[in-house]
Amino acid sequence: MWTSRTNDDNVAGFIRDALSDTYREQTLGAAGVPAAVIADVEDFRPEVKAFSPNAAGGGEVSLRDRLPSFIGLGAGFVLWSLILTGASILLNSVMEEKSNRILEILLSSASATEILTGKVLGVALLTLTVLRSGAASAPSACSAPRPTWPWMWARPCCATAWSSTSSPTWWAAI
């Protein structure tokens, strides 16, 4: 198999499945199995459900059971981005002071430990303020009203259309 997508396993899997299906049909046909039975076997797609003893709704795993892992992933991403942003702010301020020779003047009146502790605490408080403001604005963003401009709700990104009982979560502008 020659392909320009060397990291794509879907192409190899698709070809493998097609060859396997063809081989199965030929082998079963040669063994005398009727074509209708072969087609029924090929069309069989069992429905598989996940169950858990810790599931909230009768043993079947639902979105409610998976929600904590999604929230944890989202919170981890937010904290990671805030920490990297705070570290970037701290690094830029130290580089600016170093290039402007302000650090030497500050070191004449305070120790390096005191200056660095103040910088880290300041950036940490700034990061916590950003996190707190984001957490405070999240409920209002989740309960946003229907857009009033037609171009904002002309193309929904989800399968649910606007109705009196449901509203989509995400929308794309044209």
**pLDDT tens by residue, 99-147:** 888 878 888 888 889 988 988 898 888 888 887 887 787 776 666 565 5
Read out DSSP for 42-67?
A: HH-------B-TT-SBTTB--HHHHH
What percent helix, strand, coil does the chain show, rounded to 5? 65, 5, 35
Give pTM, 2 decimals.
0.44
Q: Are 161 and 151 in contact (CB under 8 A)?
A: no
Residue 165 pLDDT: 44
Helix H segments across 62-111? 63-99, 102-109
Burial (Cβ within 10 Å: 0-12, 13-18, ≥19) of residue 65: middle
**Mean pLDDT to the nearest integer, 139-156:** 55
pLDDT band at 160 (very low <50, low <70, confident <90, very high): very low
For the stretch 16-32, pLDDT in tens is 888 888 888 888 889 88
The more confidently predicted of residues 173 and 10 is 10
For the stretch 83-102, pLDDT in tens is 888 888 888 888 888 788 88
> CA torsion, points 88, 90, 93, 97, in degrees to nearest 10?
-130
Residue 88 pLDDT: 87
Residue 148 pLDDT: 56
Mean pLDDT of the chain: 75
For the stretch 30-88, pLDDT in tens is 988 888 888 888 888 888 877 777 776 667 777 777 888 889 898 889 888 888 888 88
